[in-house]
Structure 1
Amino acid sequence: MLNSLLQLIVFKRYKGDNRSRRKSLFPVSSYKKAKTVRERRHIVRRLITSIVLISLGILSASFGLRGFLIPNKLIDGGVTGISLLVNLLSGVSLSYLLIAINLPFIALGYYQSGKIFAVKSIASIIGLSIAVAYIEFPIITNDKLLIAVFGGFFLGAGIGLAIRGGSVLDGTEILAVFINQKTGFSVGDIIFIFNIIIFSFAGWFLGIETALYSILIYLAASKTVDFFLQGIDEYTGVTILSRRSKTIKLMLMNKFHKDITVYQGKNEYSEVEHVYSYDTEILYTVVTRLDLSRLYDEIYRIDPDAFVITTPIKEVRGKMFKQHF
């Protein structure tokens, strides 16, 4: 019995020593440690950024609602517009309506975009409801045109900031994307039809003038959302085909400090029933709209016969691009 116990103790000790020996033989590399730390920092940074953007979005949207729309009995499009319309017609608290009407859309978003998106969106909408209920904002103006422009601006800014933070304050686009997947109608068309219905009801119950000002609010809000999502830069992709591609490539790198993608291609053209071809480099780079005019001048100064294609780009991501803009 005693011998068996001693053998068990010795075996466990040997096993523990063997494990520690294996750990010392195969230590975690400094690269893996650094990578883990970097990933954690990135997650924390993204989380903080998301919280800040969503919080600013809630404040901006609630200011647009309390400072402009609600006191003057005007509405917006989307789910927010439905909530405002029902509030005006029934007297039910707007805070409750924002949560109740958005919930089905958030449930849909859970299946489309995942749990994190749904949780963020629910938190954002609850935050907006609390802000609308408890934060007192001054009534800025009674001029309906100013209300339409600036009320739409602050509401759109709030929605745009929330989207950049990874959530929504209005579930309309979730529904639009879902219907698009099922029917093939474009997201823009679905949102347009959705809002036409809302503003038609607004015109019927609140009057044509109110509906028209509400349409202005929606237009101002939607343009502001686009601005916050796409930014002021409005990147443009530029594809260049030229016999003097090497000179143009150097110009792009030296004068514009751009990174370039180079494709190997072949150019073919015909003259009097003869087909000619030559190998060429196809250059691709990304510039802002502020650089575009100057870029054209430089390209055509080098090669007046250069073939240039430009395509609009909504967003550019990645350190390689950002460090040059």
Structure 2
Amino acid sequence: MKFSRTRNLISEYGQIALGIVLASIGLKAFLLPNGFLDGGVTGIALLVSSQLNIDVSVLLIAFSIPFLVLGYYTVSKRIVIKSIISIIGLALFIHFENFGTITEDKLLISIFGGLFLGAGIGIAIRNGSVLDGSEILGVYLNDKFGFSIGQVILLFNIILFSITAYLISVEVALYSILTYIVTAKVTDLTIEGFEDFIGVTIVSKKYEEIESAIIKDLGVGMTLYKGTRGVGNSGKYEDFDIIHSIINRIDIKKMHRIVKTIDDDAFIVEFDVNNVKGGVLRHYLDKKKNKVLPKV
């Protein structure tokens, strides 16, 4: 148990270190040399650095302190400690590394700067840390006043980019918004993964045939619920299975064809799934050996 905990800890901090390296590449090789900004605390540090000629690594730590203090009372102490280590590590890496300017194309700067920064932030968040304190502010205001975290961060960045447009230029502000959009999207993809899963619930009188066909043709696991249907003029049809499964979105049309072939009147409900762990998510059936998945 102790060895496993140590291994997990090393893995977490190793991945956080990778996140710091990626984020610093995005900042030092793309955004900083070209005067572009990102959103959040990082964006504030970059803006103030451009106006006052103060080392951005110093500003990054200074502006993060209030948010980390706030985080001490709103999130777990473990997250705050990891975040302190991560932010100091990012500041040190930015201060000492010396990447050459890779490109002067403004569109490429926005896209690839946001890509590296978003990947770094996402990897850090996946391992229980933050590289930007604006997420902590969002958690606090959500808990205190009910504002969504997304609304808080959006408002925060609208103010930041408006100030950028006034102090620097509208063009820089627009490219910085593009950088922020890329960063946010890549952060989400890094946290949630690139595979897009969808939940499916199927209600049909021919449930046994559909169960077998899904297992055979899609090779995914499923959970079965006992249900009662047909309550109304037609009376009750009892003792049947409601099929619940998680499949990759790319297989959804194939699943529709399978169900339609067996029961054109089947009732199907689909819903988005943000995160999936465990279970049988891919084609784990060995069709040659004709294995059957266990029902849960």
Residue 262 (structure 1) aligned with residue 224 (structure 2): yes
Distance of 1:201 and 1:269 partners within structure 2 = 61
Residue 276 (structure 1) aligned with residue 235 (structure 2): yes
Residue 61 (structure 1) aligned with residue 23 (structure 2): yes
SS at match of 2:128: coil
Question: 1:121 and 1:322, CA in 2 relative to 1: closer, same or farther beyond 3 A?
Answer: farther
2:193 to 231, 245, 248: 231
In structure 1, the residue matched to 2:181 is 219
Distance of 1:182 and 1:140 partners within structure 2 = 44
Distance of 2:261 and 2:134 partners within structure 1 = 49
2:162 to 200, 204, 216: 200
In structure 1, the residue matched to 2:293 is none
Question: Residue by residue, what CA displacement relative to the aligned partner does 1:67-112 show, whole Å, maximum 9, x if unpaired?
Answer: 0111011111111001101111111111111111112212222222
After superposing the two structures, state which structure 1 stretch, 85-94 or 193-202, moved more: 85-94
SS at match of 2:235: strand
1:303 to 240, 259, 263: 263
CA contact (8 A) 2:57 2:91 kept: yes
Which residue type is aligned with residue 112 of structure 1?
T
Distance of 2:69 and 2:216 partners within structure 1 = 52
TM-score (norm 2): 0.91
CA contact (8 A) 2:246 2:281 kept: no
In structure 2, the residue matched to 1:27 is none
Distance of 1:241 and 1:136 partners within structure 2 = 60
Which residue type is aligned with residue 283 of structure 1?
I
Question: How much has 1:177 moved relative to structure 2?
Answer: 1.2
Question: Residue by residue, what CA displacement relative to the aligned partner does 1:157-213 show, whole Å, maximum 9, x if unpaired?
Answer: 110111112100001111011101111111111111110000010001011111011
CA contact (8 A) 2:26 2:113 kept: yes
SS at match of 2:230: strand
Higher relative helix content: 1
In structure 2, the residue matched to 1:22 is none
Which residue type is aligned with residue 312 of structure 1?
D
Distance of 2:10 and 2:75 partners within structure 1 = 21
SS at match of 1:276: coil
Question: Residue by residue, what CA displacement relative to the aligned partner does 1:231-257 show, whole Å, maximum 9, x if unpaired?
Answer: 111111110101111111122223323
CA contact (8 A) 2:220 2:282 kept: no
TM-score (norm 1): 0.83
1:108 to 64, 70, 77: 70
CA contact (8 A) 2:221 2:281 kept: no
Which residue type is aligned with residue 277 of structure 1?
K
In structure 2, the residue matched to 1:40 is 2
In structure 2, the residue matched to 1:36 is none
Size of the aligned set, in residue pairs, is: 283
Which residue type is aligned with residue 80 of structure 1?
T
Question: How much has 1:136 moved relative to structure 2?
Answer: 1.2
SS at match of 2:147: coil
Question: Residue by residue, what CA displacement relative to the aligned partner does 1:118-171 show, whole Å, maximum 9, x if unpaired?
Answer: 111111101100110001112111111111111111111110111112100001
Superposed counterparts of 1:1-325, under 5 Å? 39-268=1-230, 270=232, 274-279=233-238, 280-318=240-278, 320-321=279-280
Distance of 2:188 and 2:38 partners within structure 1 = 16
Question: 1:255 and 1:50, CA in 2 relative to 1: closer, same or farther beyond 3 A?
Answer: same
Percent sequence identity is 43
Which residue type is aligned with residue 137 of structure 1?
F
Distance of 1:324 and 1:54 partners within structure 2 = 31
Question: How much has 1:322 moved relative to structure 2?
Answer: 5.5
- RMSD over aligned Cα atoms: 1.5
In structure 1, the residue matched to 2:290 is none
Larger radius of gyration: 1
Question: How much has 1:229 moved relative to structure 2?
Answer: 0.9
Which residue type is aligned with residue 226 of structure 1?
D
